Amino acid sequence: MDSKRRNFLKVAGLTAIAGIGAPSAFNMLLKGEALASSGGGHGEAAAPSGTRWGMVVDVKKFAENPELANQCISACHTVHNVPDFGNAKDEIKWLWVEKYPNAFPEHSQDKRPDYVQELPIMVLCNHCEKPPCVRACPTKATYKKKDGIVAMDYHRCIGCRFCMAACPYGARSFNWRDPRGKDENGNPFIKAENPKFPTRMRGVVEKCNFCTERLAIGQLPACVEAAAQSKALVFGDLNDPHSEVSQVLKANFTIQRKPSAGTHPSLFYII
C-alpha cells in the first residue's frame, strides 16, 4: 500500500513539474513568438517598441516608369556585390521583379484586369516580424535584429539551406558556386566589386539585408535612394507614427504577401 502511494506521489509530482515546465519550454522554442500570436484572424503584430524598419512599395509608380525597377535592382546588386552567373539555376538575387500572380499567389481573383496581371511587383526579403527562416536556422547564422531587420552572418552559415525551405517568399539565394570566380571567358561574376561591402564565399546563403550597413551611417537603403525622385519606395520606422512610411500606410490601402503564413512582413504594397 505504502509503496503504491509513494509511486503515485512520484508520478503526480513529475506530472505537475512537467505541466509547469511545458509552456515555458514551448515559449523557448518559439522565442516568445507565441505571445504575439493572440488576437485576430492571422494574429496581430506585437505592441510597438523601439525602431522597426519597414517599406512601402508603390507598384503604380513602377508601372508608370518601366526603367525604375531595373535602376533599383542594379543599385542594390552593385552595392552588395551580388554576382551574376547568367543562368537561373545558380541565380542569386536580393531584389527582383515578379508578376502579380507570382508575388501574391494567394490573392486569387477571377476576372482580374489585364493590367494587374502585368504589374511589376518588386520583391525582396520581407524582414518578417516572425521570421520562419530564423526559427529554422540551426546556428543562428540568420537572426532578427532589434530594429526588425533579419540579418545574416555569412561566416557562421553552414549552407544547410533549411532557411530557404522555410522562407514562404523565396527571398533567399544560395552560393552554388564561387561568386568571386570568373566565367569561361574570364569575366568576373561580380562585375565591379564594391570594397565597402564583403563578397561572399561559396556554400552560404544570402538575401536582402535592408541595407543595414547603410542605415548604420545614416543613409537610406540603396533601392530607396535609387527611387527617391518618384517616391516609389518609402522607407522608415513603422513604430514611429509620424514617420513618412507610417503616414503613407495610414493614407493608403496596402497589402502584404502571404498573410496566412502569419509572418507579419515589414513590406507593404500599394497596388
Partner 1 sequence: MIEKALKGSTGYWVWMLFLLSIMGAGGMFYAQQFNYGLGITGMSRDVTWGVYISQFTFLVGVAAGGLMLVLPYYLHNYKAFGRIVILGEFMAIAAIAMCLMFIIADLGQPMRALNVMLHPTPNSMLFWDMIVLNGYLVLNVLCGWVVLQSEYKGVKYPKWIKPFIYLSIPWAISIHTVTAFLYCGLPGRHFWLTAILAPRFLASAFAAGPALLMIIAMILKRTTKFDIGREAQDKLVTIIGYAALINFFFLGCEFFVAYYSQMPGHMHTLDYLFWGLGHGDQVYNNLVPFMRASVVMGLAGIALIFVSRAKQSDGLLVLSCLLIFVAFWIDKGLGLVLGGFVPNMLDQVTEYYPSVQELGITAAIWATGFFILSILYKVAISVKLEKEA
Q: Which residues bind partner 1 (CB under 8 A)?
A: 28-31, 88-92, 98, 101-103, 105, 108, 123, 132, 134-141, 156-162, 164-170, 173-178, 201-205, 258, 261-263
Q: Which neighbouring-strand residues pair with 235?
A: 55
Nearest distance, CB of residue 81 and partner 1, angstroms: 17
Pick the closer one to partner 1 by CB: 8 or 26. 26
Sign of CA dihedral 121, 125, 129, 130: positive
Pick the closer one to partner 1 by CB: 101 or 252. 101
Nearest distance, CB of residue 28 and partner 1, angstroms: 6
Distance CA 126, CA 135 (A): 15
Pick the closer one to partner 1 by CB: 188 or 262. 262
Pick the closer one to partner 1 by CB: 7 or 219. 7
Q: Which residues contact 4 (CB under 8 A, 6 or more apart)?
A: none
Q: Which neighbouring-strand residues pair with 206?
A: 173
Distance CA 103, CA 101 (A): 6
> Which letter, b or e, does each residue of 191-206 get, where b requires 16 or more Cβ atoms within 10 Å of its Cβ?
eeeeeebebbeeebbb
Pick the closer one to partner 1 by CB: 51 or 142. 142
Nearest distance, CB of residue 29 and partner 1, angstroms: 5
Nearest distance, CB of residue 208 and partner 1, angstroms: 15
At 27, phi and psi to the nearest 5? -60, -35
SS3 156: coil
Pick the closer one to partner 1 by CB: 2 or 184. 184
Nearest distance, CB of residue 125 and partner 1, angstroms: 12
Nearest distance, CB of residue 143 and partner 1, angstroms: 10
Do 54 and 205 touch, CB atoms closer than 8 A? no
Nearest distance, CB of residue 230 and partner 1, angstroms: 25
Pick the closer one to partner 1 by CB: 62 or 169. 169
Of 82, 266, 96, nearest in space to 174 by CA:
82
Q: Which residues contact 139 (CB under 8 A, 6 or more apart)?
A: 156, 157, 158
